[in-house]
Amino acid sequence: MKNAPLRKDGIEKVRGTARYVADVAYPGMLHAATLRTRLPGGTIVSITFDDHVPWSEYVVVTARDIPGINVVKMIETDQPVLVETEYRHAGEPVVLVAHPDPQALADALAAIHIEERPCAMPPVFTIEEALRPDTRRVVADNIYRDYLMERGSVIDAESDVCHVFEGEYRTGAQEHLYIEPQGMIARMEDGVLTVEGSLQCPYYVHAALVCVTGLPEGHVRVLQCATGGAFGGKEEYPSHIACHAALLTLKAGGRPVALIYGRGEDMAVTPKRHPSRSRVRLGASRDGRLRFIDIDFVIDGGAYLTLSPVVLSRGLIHAAGPYRCDNIRVRGRAVATSHPPFGAFRGFGAPQSIFAMEVALDGLARVLGMAPDVLRARNILVPGDISPAGQKIEGPLDMHRVVGQALEACHYHAKVEAYQRWNVQSRVSRKGIGLATFYHGAGFTGNGELALRSRAGLRVSAAGLVEILTSTTEMGQGMQTTLSCIVAEALRIPYEGINVARPDTRDVPDSGPTVASRTCMVVGAILAQAAGKLTARLHADAALPSTYSYDEFRDACARLHAAGGVTSIMADYRHPAGNEWDESTFQGSPYASFAWACYVAEVEIDVMTGEARVLDFTAVQEVGRVVHPAVAAGQIEGGVVQGIGYALFEEVRFGADGQMANNRVTNYIIPTSADVPPIRVLFQESRHGAGPGGAAGIGELPMDGPAPAIINAINAALGTEICHVPAMPEHILAAMDRRRP
């Protein structure tokens, strides 16, 4: 794209010089592996070691070797770093083994025997089983969290409603399938435990290491290697691997230890997107005005809490969609099962609940005899309206304009008619077009950003080179590029004059985790603030003119250094005024900014095989401001492809032990280039966001819309009522047998 600077991380990745964790090696480095539980919950009776293995050549760690606290530090400390006695799911780590020769690890693991006693009651693998009173209690009542968001009175609204639609919707688990599996290397360096690896959140890992090792904070250091994708999957789980590698290093006297998962292990034991079940009831007047929205939203949290509360809360807040309605009740529950824990995944919670609402809206449109786009236009939020969570919608954004552009760009109304004609004439296939309208809040929910107290800064050299200091990580999403653009603009210097420091807890401040579409909006705003402070300092102490060239900027930096002036400038997060949130009632302003979108999918289904193919895709979004067009478009395109996989291809199969059974890229199917349609990406910029120049976050947004748009298109083409994803060919064929007369 024109006027889009080259990516900061692009050249080294294209040339193959970027150093991922598997590229890092140290003299005398040991390689490690993990022995895990086999049953879906139970008790460790004993651990025995065969005598024929020369165990003195190995480093072996069990729970008794942990010097600190045997918990993974997270929202709650319910998950052990290593199982000591009781455990909740298959695949929990029990024994860690390290050896200089990675080939020797398999023999060692085979010579260690864990005797396990199963739980008295059968495992719990479904939401329905978890909610039954007569099943195994993974935790009390098998409920981690139970939230309620309510406005008006659904009960009162039911008495005068003309039309009611009800449906039940399900979404399956989804594997992140990042390019690079998880991995960490630990070592002692000058008396400091140093851990580096593939991760999203350095300070999360740092806190976990301090907890498990008992070391002072200053004696623990975490660095990020080049990271080959994450999508949320490297938010919480790297803490586990880092703790394991660190425990082995400590027992090995400080020798470097690499613990890098193979693809099969990675897919089997790391968190997936939470499966969900939503029961939706919508009431509307004859002219399509929503009178009530009543939703029961439940997610499967797996065997430990991990990040289920934040996934649940976001799903709850987004469940009723960007629609005007005076009477809303959304109940959200996260339940405990015997699966490995589910965790953060792009959109975390919103793709699940938005899918249910958007497919239900098409169902309501059928009941009303109304076109889906007309029903949405009649209810979409506009400036001055109050959102389901009680937040006043501020201008100047115009969601009607977003929808209008999407429909015009894909010739929606002409396609509806053309596909109806096709379906009458064709014997081999059916075609359909479907849409979804939605929004996604950027940043941590409610008071989360205040609690994080994020900080970032700039370091300027005597030559005028400015280095960004932040723990925000690059994982392929373009963070380095976007933040460099923001700082260059704020300082009024060339993009080439900005570098980004490697995330290193010894060198950069805690800017909060790289999650929740907060990088541009939150961290970008902090850095713009730091840039303003740096410019003011250069004006005051180094004679920088009010209007200056890059040469004058560099000269001023040299004078500042010569005078012994401050070369690092820090800034802290500032919460937008008036953004108040009541976490007990789920009312107030949950997010400083929303990004808004309308997505349209066109599909063709082979009526003999049930195979669905996406023919064309239109994605229009209002994101406040686009900082870097190529990076922004890449975020949307990648999210749409991931959403196509969620809708049609990516079915996680669970075995009898509750673990992922199809944990290979040969039997877990994702879209290839042959499955990806033309994707039309269009932006609107009202500069309504809380970020620099009015930017809002966009990273999660494109995950929300593809699945409901695709399923709505399939249902429109076939006359079916498919209510779940993924919709595999066999599911589509079965739905055709059940379709409406």
Extents of the domains making up the chain: 11-120+176-269, 276-445+584-737, 448-572
Question: What is the chain's Cα-based Rg?
Answer: 26
- Write out pLDDT tens, residues 636-690: 999 999 999 999 999 999 999 999 999 999 999 999 999 999 999 999 999 999 9
- Residue 579 pLDDT: 82
DSSP annotation of 315 = H
In which band, very low, low, confident or very high, does the pLDDT at 92 lie, cut at 50, 70 and 90?
A: very high
**Is the pLDDT reported for residue 2 higher than 60?**
no
Instruction: Report, as an integer, the average pLDDT of 503-519.
Output: 97
Instruction: Report, as an integer, the average pLDDT of 246-253.
Output: 98
Q: What is the pTM of this model?
A: 0.97
Angstrom distance (rounded) from CA 351 to CA 328:
19
**Is the pLDDT reported for residue 741 higher than 80?**
no
In which band, very low, low, confident or very high, does the pLDDT at 396 lie, cut at 50, 70 and 90?
A: confident
> Within 132-182, where are the H helices?
154-158
- Write out pLDDT tens, residues 268-319: 999 999 999 999 999 999 999 999 999 999 999 999 999 999 999 999 999 9
In which band, very low, low, confident or very high, does the pLDDT at 11 lie, cut at 50, 70 and 90?
A: very high
Angstrom distance (rounded) from CA 711 to CA 363:
12
**Is the pLDDT reported for residue 68 higher than 60?**
yes
**Is the pLDDT reported for residue 614 higher than 70?**
yes
Specify the CATH number of the domain 11-120+176-269: 3.90.1170.50
- Residue 98 pLDDT: 98
DSSP annotation of 533 = H
**Is the pLDDT reported for residue 566 higher than 80?**
no
- Percent of the chain at pLDDT > 70 equals 99
Residue with tokens 């539980």: 37
**Is the pLDDT reported for residue 565 higher than 80?**
no
Specify the CATH number of the domain 276-445+584-737: 3.30.365.10
**Is the pLDDT reported for residue 80 higher than 90?**
yes
Angstrom distance (rounded) from CA 88 to CA 42:
6
For residue 31, what is the enclosing H or E element? strand 30-36
Angstrom distance (rounded) from CA 160 to CA 741:
29
Mark 496-517 as b/e (b = at least 16 C-beta within 10 Å): ebbebeebbbeebbbbbbbbbb
- Residue 732 pLDDT: 98
- Residue 151 pLDDT: 96
The β-bridge relationship of strands 163-171 and 276-284 is: antiparallel
**Nearest one of 708, 615, 3, 731 to 365, comparing CA atoms:** 708
- Write out pLDDT tens, residues 127-179: 999 999 999 999 999 999 999 999 999 999 998 888 999 999 999 999 999 99
Angstrom distance (rounded) from CA 675 to CA 60:
46
Mean pLDDT of the chain: 97
Strand partners, 571: 456
Whether 276-445+584-737 shares its CATH topology with 448-572 is answered yes
The β-bridge relationship of strands 724-725 and 163-171 is: parallel
- Residue 577 pLDDT: 83
- Residue 740 pLDDT: 60
Angstrom distance (rounded) from CA 543 to CA 540:
6
Range from 26-35, 220-229, 414-423, 579-588 carrying the lowest mean pLDDT? 579-588
- Residue 3 pLDDT: 66
- Residue 161 pLDDT: 84
Structural tokens at position 642: 């991931």
- Fold classification of 448-572 is Aldehyde Oxidoreductase; domain 4 (3.30.365)
